[in-house]
Chain A
């Protein structure tokens, strides 16, 4: 059974770059069955899709973040990563990584447990 686990700093200073990694276990990140995605949730608020990546490197980003976001995949480590540059307090959120089925119908499953990233000096 595929499981995901986020890791990375819980505190990032304003204007710096947020970097998170999601480790995939119980399966291969190179599986053609999944896209790998990031979703975030500010405290007390709703969910926002950040972007997806396929194991080949094909990416899709939310236009609201596109100029600041980059998602990459490292197949040798069975990991994919999120980088969000020039962060502000508005980027404070719980960040989830998730697998999304690659073939319609689509859904997100599994999910990581989430990691809180606070942007503060």
Chain B
């Protein structure tokens, strides 16, 4: 199975900060990667698919980049509603595997 290593596991940031989360795959996965946001008690929500495509309705402050083994999720200006846990998911092949998650907390 492809292992997804996500970092950091948590971070503290202020409203307006630029935030970057990374995900590294144990082998090349082309651009078959998605980013999901999960708030407490809620189901995950897709933000980015295909490594860099913004899901409809997701604010443009979210962006994704990368290909192969290294991927990045960037929030250009953190908003109060962005405090949540973020997961990457590789869907290059089965079994689908998630990163461990990054919890974004208020500084």
Question: A residues near B, CB below 8 A?
Answer: 39, 46-49, 52, 60-64, 96, 98, 100, 104-109, 111-114
Assess whether A107 is in contact with B55, with CB atoms less than 8 Å apart.
yes
Name the prevailing secondary structure of the B interface residues.
loop
Assess whether B43 is in contact with A46, with CB atoms less than 8 Å apart.
no
Q: Which residues of A have CB within 8 Å of B99? A: 46
Among the listed stretches B15-23, B75-83, B86-94, which one makes contact with chain A, having 4 or more residues with CB under 8 Å of it?
B86-94
Nearest Cβ distance between residue A88 and chain B, in whole angstroms? 20
Give the residue name and chain of the A residue nearest to B53 (CB). A105
Q: Choose one: B32, B43, B96; the contact of A96 (CB below 8 Å).
A: B43
Q: A105-B32, A106-B32 are in contact. Are A48 and B44 (CB under 8 A)?
A: no
Q: Choose one: B1, B32, B45, B100; the contact of A46 (CB below 8 Å).
A: B100
Which 6 A/B pairs are nearest by Cβ-Cβ distance? A105-B50, A111-B43, A107-B49, A49-B96, A106-B91, A47-B98
**Given contact pairs A52-B96, A60-B95, a sample of 7 additional A-B residue pairs in the complex whose CB atoms are under 8 Å apart:** A46-B101, A49-B89, A62-B95, A63-B1, A64-B95, A106-B49, A109-B45
Assess whether A60 is in contact with B94, with CB atoms less than 8 Å apart.
yes
Q: Which residues of B have CB within 8 Å of A98? A: 43
Question: In whole angstroms, what is the CA distance A4 to B86 when docked?
Answer: 22
Q: How many A-B residue pairs have CB under 8 A?
A: 63
Assess whether A104 is in contact with B43, with CB atoms less than 8 Å apart.
no
Give 16 pairs: A residue, B residue, CB < 8 Å, sorted on A: A47-B36, A47-B44, A47-B98, A47-B101, A49-B96, A62-B96, A63-B95, A105-B31, A105-B32, A106-B34, A107-B91, A108-B44, A108-B89, A109-B55, A111-B44, A114-B43
Question: In whole angstroms, what is the CA distance A46 to B23 when docked?
Answer: 15
Q: A49-B97, A62-B95, A114-B43 are in contact. Are A107 and B34 (CB under 8 A)?
A: yes
Nearest Cβ distance between residue B26 and chain A, in whole angstroms? 15
Assess whether A48 is in contact with B98, with CB atoms less than 8 Å apart.
yes
Give the residue name and chain of the B residue nearest to A37 (CB). B96
